[in-house]
Amino acid sequence: MIVMVEEKILEAIEKALQNSKERKFKQSVDVAITLKDVDMNNPKNRIDEEIILPHGRGKPAKIALFAGGELALKARGVVDLIIKPEEIDDLAKDKKRMKKIANEHDFFVAEAPLMPTIGKKLGVILGPRGKMPKPIPPNADIKAIADNLRKSVRIRSRSSKTFHTLIGTEDMEPKKLAENLQAILKRLEEKLERGRYNIDSVYVKTTMGPSQRVM
């Protein structure tokens, strides 16, 4: 099935790419979304969604796993970092190292039984960054989970009406970037009480480029 792309989304992305100067690194293509008529002081109105992008992120997300035993063995070569249960105490004491790990990885997953310990000892670092692990059973198919996360982004508003995420990289086809953005907007509209009427503005830009208004 051919996905129909809204013309204004595609046009804005094409302009953002055209107006972006060439850099010595591969820039991400980012979106900034601002909501309206939403009380962000009410926790139930806050956005915290994980979305699989139909065409991926351009550069796969980095994943860290808290696990031991068989799950840790199965995860070798599948995730970017394995943190064993006995390492949690050391990381809790070495906050600088744990912050570095948190900043370098996009998603965290953990064996469900480890979640209380992680929350108690590392929650102060992972929580504010929106990176508390997703609990998974010890017999989980870690490859399937990792494959989905590598193509995913997280949109998280907290108490602010404006939030940001990426929709891909500048070397991706504009149509694919547009379809990624559509997937994000569709999920967001499903979560908002008045759907698209609760979205005030949407802007796209490359990492170092000027922003272009979508709506």
For the segment 171-188, the average pLDDT, to the nearest whole number, is 95
- At 166, which CATH number? 3.30.190.20
Higher-scoring residue by pLDDT: 3, 116: 116
pLDDT at 24: 87
Residue 83, in any domain of the structure: yes
d(CA 154, CA 39): 21
**Are residues 144 and 70 part of one domain?**
yes
**Are residues 111 and 88 part of one domain?**
yes
For the segment 164-181, the average pLDDT, to the nearest whole number, is 96
**Are residues 113 and 75 part of one domain?**
yes
State the total domains in the chain. 2
**Are residues 71 and 22 part of one domain?**
no
pLDDT per residue over 9-33, tens digit each? 999 999 999 998 888 899 999 999 9
Is the model's pLDDT at 4 over the cut of 50?
no
pLDDT at 94: 96
Identify residue 104 by its one-letter amino acid code: E
**Are residues 169 and 142 part of one domain?**
no
pLDDT at 5: 55
For the segment 79-98, the average pLDDT, to the nearest whole number, is 97
Q: How confident is the model at residue 166 (pLDDT cuts 50, 70, 90)?
A: very high
Pairing of strands 212-213, 48-52: unpaired
pLDDT at 3: 45
156 beta partners: 48
The parent domain of residue 163 ranges over 7-58+153-213
Residue 2, in any domain of the structure: no
**Are residues 88 and 48 part of one domain?**
no
Is the model's pLDDT at 179 over the cut of 90?
yes
**Are residues 121 and 81 part of one domain?**
yes
C-beta of residue 111 within 8 angstroms of C-beta of residue 142? no
For the segment 38-51, the average pLDDT, to the nearest whole number, is 89
DSSP string spanning 108-167? Answer: EEEEGGGHHHHHHHHHHHHTTTT-PPEEE-TT--HHHHHHHHHTEEEEE-TT-SEEEEEE
pLDDT at 97: 97
Last residue of a domain, one of 105, 123, 149: 149
- At 67, which CATH number? 3.40.50.790
pLDDT per residue over 114-128, tens digit each? 999 999 999 999 999
Contacts of 58 (CB under 8 A, 6+ apart): 26, 28, 29, 166, 168, 169, 170, 171, 172
Residue 45, in any domain of the structure: yes
